[in-house]
Amino acid sequence: MKGLYLLIPLAPLIGALVAGLFCRVIPRWVAHTVTIAGVALAFILSCVVFKDVLAGNTFNGPVYQWLAVTTSAGDYRFEVGFLIDSLTATMMLVVTFVSLMVHIYTIGYMSEDPGYNRFFSYISLFTFSMLMLVMSNNFVQLFFGWEAVGLVSYLLIGFWYTRPSATFANLKAFLVNRVGDFGFLLGIGLVLAYFGSLDYAAVFIKAPELAKMQIPLFSGVSLMSAICILLFIGAMGKSAQVPLHVWLPDSMEGPTPISALIHAATMVTAGIFMVARMSPLFELSTTALSFVIVIGAITALFMGLLGIIQNDIKRVVAYSTLSQLGYMTVALGASAYSVAIFHLMTHAFFKALLFLAAGSVIIALHHDQDIRNMGGLRKYMPITWITSLIGSLALIGTPFFSGFYSKDMIIEAVAASNIPGSGFAYFAVLIGVFITAFYSFRMYFLVFHGKERFGAAHGHHDDHGGEHHGLAPGQKPHESPLVVTLPLVALAIPSLIIGFLTVEPMIGAHFGKAILVNPAHPAMAEVHEKFHGAAAMALHGLMSAPFWLAAFGVFLAWFFYLKRPEIPAALKKHFAGLYNLLDNKYYFDRFNETVLAGGARLLGKGLWRGGDVAVLDGIVVDGSARLVGWISRLVRRLQTGYLYTYAFTMIIGVFALLSLWLKRLG
Amino acid sequence: MTGTPLLSLAIWIPIVAGLIVLATGSDRNASSARMIALAGAILGFLITIPLYTGFDTHTSAMQFVEKTRWSESFNIYYHLGVDGMSVLFLLLNSFITIIVVLAGWKVVTEKIAQYNAAFLIMSGLMNGIFSALDGMLFYVFFEASLIPLYLIIGVWGGPRRVYAALKFFIYTLAGSLLFLVSLVYLYSQGGTFEIAQWHLLPLPLSAQTWIFFAFLAAFAVKVPMWPVHTWLPDAHVEAPTGGSIVLAAIALKLGAYGFLRFSLPIAPDAVHAWSGLIIALSLIAVVYIGFVALVQTDMKKLVAYSSISHMGFVTLGFFMLNAIGLEGAIVQMISHGFVSGAMFFCIGVMYDRVHSRDISDYGGVVNTMPKFAAFFMLFSMANAGLPATSGFVGEFMVILGAVKFNFWVAFAAALTLILGAAYTLWMYKRVIFGAVANKHVADLTDISAREFLILALLAAAVLFMGLYPLPFTEVMHSSVDNLLQHVATSKLP
């Protein structure tokens, strides 16, 4: 079985190496065949593993020893190894399935791109890295996967490297993530310092005895709180939680397939997965859980608001992703880890679908991404239309759709949570339902219904580089090829039914021992108690507040953007202050660029010019050189070469010596 | 292999090869000079391999020991040996020598024999430093190795080479003189120049303190530690590519190695008393220099400052006095040899074509040099400490050790995660990414087979060490453990 586990990440890695190292010599079909074969193999084997895990077989063991520090005082061993349980197996399925769909889709989407082979290499490398992350049984390998997915994300955001906006975005993404990793690494350091091991199993066993331990960092902060908050700061970077969310909207500079795979379905959920994996630690710190739930609620509510005013189709979906990640984080904070993973899974399907559908629209409109230039596309792109509708309905939580089950569970869990901050979080996720429905259907109506606005805006350039073209007047869009629509359909099916099918095991026994919940946090137990089957839940959902909030959101979107389009324009004028706040994304970017990045450059210049050049080199080094020069000039004066000077000096010397001697005697 | 004087061979093969190369004389025999130099370098590397394969990891005792009397009257011995902390540096040094000879193959067109000879002789002398067990022998190698490097910068360097070479020489020599005084003092106390005897020599705290600071003056300059680091950016900027590679990869390690071999075991009580100072200086190097690196406009200066910042991790790892930090520091030294060597080589590749080191003269290099851009990406990531590259392992271990030592020290040190990525990748973005910026970039040709070979060798080393660092640390456990026990024991009389 271990060989099989090993093959799952290695298959995509081999594909990535072949496509990457020989990207200049192999034809395109070799690149996509070898990478797709690798990912398909990983997917099939993940299914095998999943079935095996369902049968009750779990695995926890090393592959090889990476590093060791052995001393007479004690040993540290760091191993590369796998932990295969229900949580891992679920993640593996999601990752490999979405990745496979995105690989197939890419054949169509990137068909005209000169970097075709390189692109396949990157996305396969990503699949490898993500699998290493979720399959890890220790913190080191987790961190490896964590940084490796970050690297691939960096490479892919900057895939079109000649665009200044793309290379700005990828640097920003990497650095913001590094801020998160800074906390993450310190958290790992604390784990090693106090637990003496970085193996999950060893750490989790020892956790309860250290639960009450205080450390002298900040007064009143327990060891567990410090560890969990530091680890969560890592998750805030990767899963784009406020205030480390700023990189995700910009990451849309990358090609659309990776927005679906990396920046919606999988990589950004790594933080959610990590916290769920660390549930035995987080459950021991109410402070940390409270921190988590508040950050999640802020992200869910305020990022959703930004989605309302975006006009770039990918950015609307990106802000929606941020908001949904906030929902998952809220679930984590409410100790409803399994619900968070459940939402992670349903979201992976419907959000990948929405992104790929957006990509399909973008190709049809020749890379125009502005929804103001769309409209009426349902006639021309029926498959994209229907699948988008399914994705949107799933996203807003329509009963019986997959998103309904996971989102409703989150709302219920938050309602039942007793963590400080859960009251605010409940308010945020409830309002968030309305906002989600509003921005989703605003986009849906503007893209697929109403007047056809494309064709007129030829030559339109938005502010993100000159790569957006659009259709020429009279040109009509047409449906994308099969390699594009097939993944849409394949993702639409789980978006529709996966929630209904899996809600019962997901909140019930599926995760078993993989997730640990402290009995003092009753949210999950109450959710479970109220659950009477998937159908009953959906029927009950039709009468609950979230459903009516969502319905109202859809209605308002229809009224504003199809029926009376002058209303939003009037509102925009009337509430200019609020609009500016949202349009500038609460000024996070401006703050970061001027205060943090600008401050760092200023500090660097000051230290360099002031410290190194002026003081150290100018005063100390050259100063001491000048001092030596001055002394030597002084001494040189004595060696004039004139006899009388020497004679005079000698006489003075003799006189001085004599007087000293006489003084001694006297 | 027993009985073969491997260490002597590791020292003298490169030196003799260097003398032969020198004998080929004028530039008319350039190709034979290059071939002999390469053969000498490869042979010198091969001879160090049995040092690793035959190394006994279970003992902290010196291995492959050779001992012959050198000077009767002063009790000086030609005494060689390696332990787990030094053996890897012979391999690193000999490996880098091959890289350097290859790196200068086409690029250096004047005084070719002398150029190669200088590197080979220096390589032998540096092997001598890492294997000398006699204080005076160490000192002779330590000082002698300055001369070839001084010449390399002064003869084959850039326009301000004389200023840079002189600054380098005076800086390092000034420290060395205090070092010599300490050696003589220790000789007067112990009646021997044998370093191992000095480790056991009881010394009052005042004497230890004097010795500690005298050593510090010598080693801190070489590392270099803040605030005696300003010679390094100048030296790098003026040095030819090969000189920069050796300077960064090996020469900077000499000072750090000195701390391990001299300061820590000879003056342990002073080390305990003053470790806070060194840790503070190390953190300043990591953070302050990180910010300074951010705003550099000259690529070589940027990487030079980044070197200082990375070496801050080495001194930090040493003086926290825990095993994981100390081993991490040694790993960082080895890794930095590969990574900084590779970074300087990459800059050299661009400099050879465009004759500029200014970031603003580049932009969009990936369009014309895609293979080069891929390698440069790997090394930049290694410089930023990405896992699976060697750059991660040492930093990771030192940060783990620092959390154990004091959380806030770790907090400051871990800032390098952000700063290192910022200065390295920002440079990468401006140089490599973007549209073709100017005619020079448009005219670039991608790397040659020779350059590819060099980059591939370094890439293999960086990746191997990142994916499987175990073999590197395995050899040092016993010696590090022994050293730590030694430092923990007071030597006050």
The dihedral through the CA atoms of B80, B85, B91, B95 has a sign that is negative
CB B432 within 8 Å of CB B446: no
pLDDT of residue A219: 67
pLDDT of residue A339: 92
Q: Which of B291, B422, B477 sits opposite A71 (nearest CB)?
A: B477
Specify which residues B423 forms β-bridges with: none
pLDDT tens string A396-451: 989 999 999 999 999 999 998 888 998 999 999 999 999 999 999 999 999 998 88
Q: Of A200, A209, A221, A293, which Cα lies nearest the Cα of A521?
A: A293
pLDDT interval class at A452 (50, 70, 90):
confident
Mean of the pLDDT values across residues A51-64?
88
pLDDT of residue A577: 85
pLDDT of residue A460: 45
Residue A494 phi, psi (nearest 5): -65, -30
User: In Å, how far is B290's CA from the nearest CA of chain A?
Assistant: 8
In this predicted structure, the answer to whether residue A461 has a pLDDT above a threshold of 50 is no
Mean of the pLDDT values across residues B250-276?
91
What does B46-112 look like in DSSP terms, one character per residue? HHHHHHHHT--TT--S-EEEEEEEEETTTTEEEEEEE-TTTHHHHHHHHHHHHHHHHHTTTT--SSH
Average pLDDT, chain B: 89
Residues of chain A found within 8 Å of residue B392, distances taken between Cβ atoms? 147
Residues of chain A found within 8 Å of residue B227, distances taken between Cβ atoms? 616, 620
Q: Say yes or no for a CB contact (<8 Å) between A193 and B404.
A: yes
In this predicted structure, the answer to whether residue B247 has a pLDDT above a threshold of 60 is yes
CA distance B273 to B268: 9
CB A397 within 8 Å of CB A381: no
- Is residue B102 left, alpha or beta, with left meaning phi > 0 and alpha meaning psi from -120 to 50? alpha
In residues, how long is chain B? 493
Mean of the pLDDT values across residues B320-348?
93
Q: Which run of H or E residues covers position B374?
A: helix B370-383
Average pLDDT, chain A: 88
pLDDT interval class at B2 (50, 70, 90):
low
CA distance A472 to A454: 8
Token output for A142: 């987790």
Q: Say yes or no for a CB contact (<8 Å) between B480 and A71.
A: yes
pLDDT tens string B106-165: 887 778 888 888 899 999 999 999 999 998 899 989 888 888 888 888 888 878 888 888
In this predicted structure, the answer to whether residue A337 has a pLDDT above a threshold of 60 is yes
Contacts of B197 (CB under 8 A, 6+ apart): B190
Interface of B with A in 413-432 (CB under 8 A): 414-415, 417-418, 421-422, 425-426, 429, 432
Mean of the pLDDT values across residues A554-572?
87
Residues of chain B found within 8 Å of residue A148, distances taken between Cβ atoms? 386-388
Contacts of B164 (CB under 8 A, 6+ apart): B153, B157, B158, B231, B234, B235, B237, B238, B239
Interface predicted TM-score of the whole assembly (ipTM), two decimals: 0.91
Percent of chain B exceeding pLDDT 70 equals 100
In this predicted structure, the answer to whether residue B71 has a pLDDT above a threshold of 50 is yes
In this predicted structure, the answer to whether residue B431 has a pLDDT above a threshold of 60 is yes
Task: Tell me which range, A40-54, A652-666, B53-67, is most confidently predicted by mean pLDDT.
Answer: A40-54
The dihedral through the CA atoms of B320, B324, B327, B330 has a sign that is negative
pLDDT of residue A74: 73
Residues of chain A found within 8 Å of residue B467, distances taken between Cβ atoms? 66
CA distance B6 to B88: 14
CA distance B311 to B255: 10
Burial zone of B346 (CB within 10 Å; 0-12 exposed, 13-18 middle, 19+ buried)? buried
DSSP helix/strand/coil, A479:
coil
Residue B74 touches chain A, beta carbons under 8 Å: no
Q: Which run of H or E residues covers position A71?
A: strand A59-71
Residues of chain B found within 8 Å of residue A64, distances taken between Cβ atoms? 468
The per-residue b/e assignment along A63-98, b for 16 or more CB within 10 angstroms, e otherwise, is eeebbbbbbeeeebbbbbbbbbbbbbbbbbbbbbbb
Residue B292 touches chain A, beta carbons under 8 Å: yes
Q: Which run of H or E residues covers position B486?
A: helix B477-488
User: In Å, how far is A362's CA from the nearest CA of chain B?
Assistant: 24
Omega cis (within 30) before B224: yes
User: In Å, how far is A326's CA from the nearest CA of chain B?
Assistant: 25
Q: Which of A66, A144, A178 sits opposite B470 (nearest CB)?
A: A66
pLDDT of residue A467: 52
pLDDT tens string A273-294: 999 999 999 999 898 999 999 9
Q: Say yes or no for a CB contact (<8 Å) between B227 and A617.
A: no
Residue B288 touches chain A, beta carbons under 8 Å: yes
Residues of chain A found within 8 Å of residue B293, distances taken between Cβ atoms? 604
Mean of the pLDDT values across residues A182-191?
94
Searching chain B, which residue's CA lies closest to the CA of residue A614?
Answer: B230
Residue B452 touches chain A, beta carbons under 8 Å: no
In this predicted structure, the answer to whether residue A525 has a pLDDT above a threshold of 90 is no
Q: How many C-alpha atoms does A616 have within 13 Å on its Cβ side?
A: 17
Other Cβ atoms within 10 Å of B305 Cβ, number: 29
pLDDT of residue A562: 86
Q: Say yes or no for a CB contact (<8 Å) between A607 and B291.
A: yes
CA distance A430 to A654: 101
In this predicted structure, the answer to whether residue A604 has a pLDDT above a threshold of 90 is no
CB B18 within 8 Å of CB B124: yes
Token output for A432: 């968030």
Mean of the pLDDT values across residues B404-419?
92
Residues of chain B found within 8 Å of residue A603, distances taken between Cβ atoms? 291
DSSP helix/strand/coil, A411:
helix
pLDDT tens string A462-478: 444 445 577 777 778 88
Residue A158 touches chain B, beta carbons under 8 Å: yes
Q: Which of B324, B381, B433 sits opposite A158 (nearest CB)?
A: B433
Residue A84's alpha-carbon distances to A64, A135, A136, A202, B225, in angstroms, are: 16, 6, 8, 16, 46
User: In Å, how far is A233's CA from the nearest CA of chain B?
Assistant: 14
Token output for A203: 């750490």
CA distance B125 to B167: 22
Residue A466 phi, psi (nearest 5): -95, 30
Q: Which run of H or E residues covers position A63?
A: strand A59-71
Interface of B with A in 142-171 (CB under 8 A): 167
Q: Say yes or no for a CB contact (<8 Å) between A607 and B292.
A: yes
Residues of chain A found within 8 Å of residue B474, distances taken between Cβ atoms? 68
Token output for A70: 């052995």
Interface of A with B in 233-252 (CB under 8 A): none
CA distance B18 to B41: 9
Tell me the pTM: 0.91
Contacts of B28 (CB under 8 A, 6+ apart): none
Write out A573-620 in H/E/C secondary structure.
Answer: HHCHHHHHHHHCHHHHHHHHHHHHHHHHHHHHHHHHHHHHHHHHHHHH
Q: Say yes or no for a CB contact (<8 Å) between B291 and A600.
A: yes
CB B445 within 8 Å of CB B353: yes
CA distance A369 to A320: 16
pLDDT tens string A137-161: 999 999 999 999 999 999 999 999 9
Mean of the pLDDT values across residues B392-399?
93
Residue A184 touches chain B, beta carbons under 8 Å: no
CA distance B455 to B376: 9
Which of B369, B407, B431 to mutate to test binding with chain A, by most A CBs within 10 Å of its CB? B407
In this predicted structure, the answer to whether residue A492 has a pLDDT above a threshold of 80 is yes
User: In Å, how far is B294's CA from the nearest CA of chain A?
Assistant: 6
Token output for A443: 């986009």
Query: Taking every pair of C-alpha atoms in chain A, what is the biggest distance, in angstroms?
Result: 121
Alpha helices for A417-565 (secondary structure H) = 422-448, 482-507, 523-530, 534-541, 545-558
Q: List the single range of A49-53, A225-229, B27-31, B297-301 with lowest mean pLDDT.
A: B27-31
What does A280-298 look like in DSSP terms, one character per residue? HHHTT-HHHHHHHHHHHHH
Mean of the pLDDT values across residues B221-238?
87
Interface of B with A in 317-336 (CB under 8 A): 323-324, 327
CB B256 within 8 Å of CB B315: yes
Token output for A224: 């567990």
Q: Say yes or no for a CB contact (<8 Å) between B387 and A188.
A: no
The 3-state DSSP composition of chain B as helix, strand, coil percent (nearest 5) reads 75, 5, 20
pLDDT interval class at A330 (50, 70, 90):
very high
CB A470 within 8 Å of CB A460: yes
Mean of the pLDDT values across residues A237-261?
90
DSSP helix/strand/coil, A83:
strand
Place of tokens 């419907």: A350
Q: Which run of H or E residues covers position A65?
A: strand A59-71
Q: Would you tell me the crossing angle of helices B205-222 and B268-294 to the nearest 10 degrees?
A: 30
pLDDT of residue A466: 44
Place of tokens 């299914």: A47
CA distance A327 to A297: 7
Searching chain B, which residue's CA lies closest to the CA of residue A78?
Answer: B470
Which of B417, B452, B473 to mutate to test binding with chain A, by most A CBs within 10 Å of its CB? B417
Specify which residues A59 forms β-bridges with: A84
CA distance A385 to A391: 10
pLDDT of residue A156: 93
Residue A45's alpha-carbon distances to A9, A51, A279, B104, B470, in angstroms, are: 10, 10, 27, 50, 30
CA distance A433 to A446: 20
Residue A496 touches chain B, beta carbons under 8 Å: no
Q: Say yes or no for a CB contact (<8 Å) between A604 and B294.
A: yes
Task: Report how far Cα B163 is from the mean position of its chain's Cα atoms.
Answer: 22
CB B50 within 8 Å of CB B64: no
Q: Say yes or no for a CB contact (<8 Å) between A185 and B417.
A: yes
Which of B171, B230, B297 to mutate to test binding with chain A, by most A CBs within 10 Å of its CB? B230
Interface of B with A in 8-67 (CB under 8 A): none
